[in-house]
Amino acid sequence: MAKKTQKSDLRKDPAYQELVASLTKVIDEAYVKGVDFNREHFLNCYACGCVEGMTEKGSRTIYLKDGTVAALDVDFRVIDIKRRDYVLKRGGIRWRTTYLYVCGICGAEQKVCHVDEFSKQEPH
């Protein structure tokens, strides 16, 4: 992957810095509410078909392909998380989170990329 010099220039842009500050604030507030930003996405396994989901009690759990709940001590093991953000021309930031993880059910190692967007209301 080639590094773009354009990106470092964007980071010096006050509008960009303002967006980052806004985004940081949103994340901080979410932290206070107890959102796990270490793992903000649900993962799933492409090998055995299990998926992560939220229980009625609001905790994270894994459902097997047939819909049954996996044992409580089973979890996806995240090896690496990479995050890249991009400034959108129409305002806002799009960020890509790439997870490298091992399925707690079948042990398959896989990589998945989630894309999120943070749009800011027009300030003017």
The footprint of Zn ion (CB under 5 A) covers 45, 47-48, 103, 105-106, 108
Q: Report how far residue 8's alpha carbon sits from residue 21's, in angstroms, rounded to the nearest whole number.
A: 17
Choice between 83 and 111, CB closer to Zn ion: 111
CB 24 within 8 A of CB 16: no
Sign (positive/negative) of CA torsion 22, 88, 113, 62? positive
DSSP-derived 3-state class of residue 98: strand
Smallest distance from Zn ion to CB 38, Å: 21
Smallest distance from Zn ion to CB 63, Å: 12
Choice between 30 and 108, CB closer to Zn ion: 108
Choice between 49 and 91, CB closer to Zn ion: 49
CB 47 within 8 A of CB 106: yes
Smallest distance from Zn ion to CB 53, Å: 15
